[in-house]
Structure 1
Amino acid sequence: MSTQTEAAAGRDVGDDELITAWGLFHEALHNTGELLLRDVDPSGGDMSGPWFEVLIRLQRSPGNRQPMSKLAKEVCLSSGGFTKLADRLERKGYLARRSCPSDRRVVYAELTEAGRELADEARARHVALLREHVLGPLGPDGLRRLAELARTLRDTSLAT
Structure 2
Amino acid sequence: MLKLEDVNTEQSLQLFHVFAKAFKSVSEHSYMSCKTQGFNPTAFAVLEVLYLKGSQPIQQIGSKLLLQSGNVTYVIDKLEQTGLLRRKHCSKDRRVIYTELTEEGKAVMDKVYPEHSKALSNALQGLNKEEKDLTIRLLKKLGMAAENITPVTVKKT
- TM band (smaller chain): 0.7 to 0.9
Task: State the Cα distance separating 1:11 from its structure 2 match.
Answer: 4.7
Choose 1 or 2 for highest CA Rg. Answer: 2
The alpha carbon displacement at 1:49 in A equals 2.0
- Secondary structure at the residue paired with 2:95? coil
In the alignment of these two chains, the number of paired residues is 146
CA shift at 1:158, angstroms?
4.7
Alpha-carbon RMSD across the aligned residues, in angstroms, is 2.1
What is the aligned partner in structure 2 of residue 95 from structure 1? 85
1:114 is displaced (CA, Å) by 1.3
Identity of aligned residues (%): 27
Query: Do residues 51 (structure 1) and 40 (structure 2) align?
Result: no
Matched letter for residue 56 of structure 1: E
Candidates 9, 14, 24, aligned match of 1:30: 24
Question: Does the aligned pair in 2 maintain the 1:99–1:107 contact within 8 Å?
Answer: yes
In 1, Cα distance between the equivalents of 2:9 and 2:71? Answer: 35
Name 1:126's counterpart in structure 2.
116
**Letter of the structure 1 residue corresponding to residue 81 of structure 2:** R
Q: CA offset at residue 132 of structure 1?
A: 1.1
Question: What amino acid is the match of 1:142?
Answer: E
**2:145 & 2:109 partners in 1: Cα distance?**
30
Name stretches of at least 5 consecutive residues in structure 1 with no aligned partner: 1-9
The offset of 1:151, in angstroms, is: 2.1
Equivalences for residues 8-87 of structure 1 within 5 A = 11=5, 13-40=7-34, 44-45=37-38, 47-61=39-53, 64-87=54-77
Residues 156 and 105 from structure 1, CA distance in 2 versus in 1: closer, same or farther, beyond 3 angstroms? farther
Give the TM-score taking structure 1 as reference length.
0.81
Please give the alpha-carbon distance, in whole angstroms, between the structure 2 residues aligned to 1:49 and 1:15: 33
Superposed displacement of residue 33, structure 1 = 0.7
**Which AA in structure 2 matches 1:20?**
Q
TM-score, with length taken from structure 2:
0.82
Runs of at least 5 residues in structure 2 that lack an aligned partner in the other structure: 150-157
Structure 1 CA distance for aligned equivalents of residues 117 and 61 of structure 2:
21
The change in CA–CA distance for 1:109 and 1:72 in structure 2 (over 3 A counts) is: same
- For the structure 1 residues 109 and 139, does the alpha-carbon distance in structure 2 shift closer, same or farther, using more than 3 Å as the test? same
CA offsets 1:105-158 (integer angstroms, 9 cap, x no match): 110010111111222222101211122111x10110111112112222343455
Secondary structure of 1:108's aligned partner: strand
CA contact (8 A) 2:35 2:41 kept: no
